Amino acid sequence: MDDASRASPEGYLLAALAKAAPAEPHPDLRQHVLAMADVPQGPIDVSRYEWDEVAPGIRAHVLREEPERGYRAVLIWAQPGARMAAHRHLGDEDILVLEGMLRDERGEYQAGAICRSRAGSVHSEQAGPDGPCICFVAYYGGHEPVES
């Protein structure tokens, strides 16, 4: 890189990146990426699934369950404003919003966004007010209720 290109902020950044050691990915990254292969393709036709009501206004359909590794892939269909009670994660959880909007204490997640919760974290989710929310959820261990 010549002296002229280093004079710009971009040049300094590129020079620093060129010298940086490659970062090793988190050991669990592979399983989190592969879990996304369980996401149903295309628009979700809720009439094609059998649903269990897990909380008022929130239904779940288990797509895959692998108890030996503590993995469950679940579709969640929540009515506008429906809320899951506060809970603690016993393992990681990845939520991919497929339709609608989901919010928790950390922010709002539109279709296409991923809400990630690490083991030990506590939160509660709520569907947005403007329509149903459909999510794909990958659980790596369960969760337990907490007093709110």
For 95-115, give the DSSP string. EEEEESEEEETTEEEETT-EE
User: For residue 5, is it within any domain?
Assistant: no
- What is the distance between the alpha carbons of residues 126 and 108, in angstroms, rounded to a whole number? 9
More confident: 117 or 79: 79
Q: Does residue 58 contact residue 82 with C-beta atoms inside 8 Å?
A: yes
Q: Which amino acid is at 58?
A: I
User: For residue 110, is it within any domain?
Assistant: yes
The pLDDT, as a whole number, for residue 1 is 47
Give the global pTM: 0.77
User: For residue 1, is it within any domain?
Assistant: no
User: For residue 15, is it within any domain?
Assistant: no
**Residue 9 pLDDT class (50, 70, 90 cuts):** confident
User: For residue 6, is it within any domain?
Assistant: no
**Residue 147 pLDDT class (50, 70, 90 cuts):** confident
- What is the distance between the alpha carbons of residues 90 and 70, in angstroms, rounded to a whole number? 10
The pLDDT, as a whole number, for residue 69 is 84
Residue 135: pLDDT above 70?
A: yes
The pLDDT, as a whole number, for residue 10 is 78
User: For residue 17, is it within any domain?
Assistant: no
Q: What is the tally of structural domains in the chain? A: 1
Identify the CATH number of the domain in which residue 104 sits.
Answer: 2.60.120.10
Domain residue limits at 105: 29-145
Kindly report, residue by residue over 89-109, the tens digit of the pLDDT.
899 999 999 999 999 999 999
Residue 84: pLDDT above 80?
A: yes
Residue 26: pLDDT above 70?
A: no
Q: Which amino acid is at 27?
A: P
The pLDDT, as a whole number, for residue 11 is 77
